[in-house]
Amino acid sequence: MSEKPQPLDLDFKTILEIIRNPNAGDYTKAYAIENYIKQCIKSACEFYSRYKDNPELLIQEHPEYENTLTRFLKDLPFAVPFNEKMFNPLYFDYKKYNKWLFNLAFKSVFEEKENE
C-alpha cells in the first residue's frame, strides 16, 4: 500500500476544480467526481478495516492519535503499569475504541454542517 488509508474527507475544493475544468465535458467531469468520491470512501473503509482492533498499528502509522487512545483505558480499582495495560484487552476497551474509530473514519458524514 503506497499511501496510508485516511478518514473520509471529501474535499469540495477538489470537486469544484473538476467542475471548473474548461477542458472537460460534463460526462468527463461527472466521471471524475464519481471516481474521486469512490476513492475517498474506499480510503475511509480501508482506514477502518486496517486499524479495527489494532490501535498499536494506528498510532504507529498515525501518531497524531496516540494521546486520544488513553480515553479507552478502563478504570481499574488497582494499579497496573501504563505500558502493561495500554493494549491489554483486560484494561483497554476495544469495543469503545472501534466505535470511535468508525466515527473517525466517517467523520465528515456524521458531523453536522454549521449552516444547517
Residue 116 lies in a domain: no
Q: Tell me the residue range of the domain where 44 lies.
A: 12-110
CA contacts within 13 A on the Cβ side of 7: 16
Instruction: Give me the phi and psi of 114, to 5 degrees please.
Output: -65, -30
Averages of pLDDT over runs of 10 residues in the chain (116 residues) are 75 82 82 89 94 93 88 71 71 92 90 56
Residue 18 lies in a domain: yes
Residue 68 lies in a domain: yes
Q: Which three cell numbers stand for residue 114?
A: 454549521
The per-residue pLDDT for 50 is 96
Pair 9, 42: CB distance under 8 Å: no
The per-residue pLDDT for 82 is 58
How many structural domains is the chain composed of?
Answer: 1
Residue 41 lies in a domain: yes
- For the residues of 39-90, what is the DSSP string, one character each? HHHHHHHHHHHHHTT-HHHHHHH-GGGTGGGGGGBPP-SS---HHHHSS-TT
The per-residue pLDDT for 115 is 47
The per-residue pLDDT for 30 is 85
Residue 3 lies in a domain: no
Residue 1 lies in a domain: no
* CA 63, 78, 99, 88 torsion-angle sign: positive
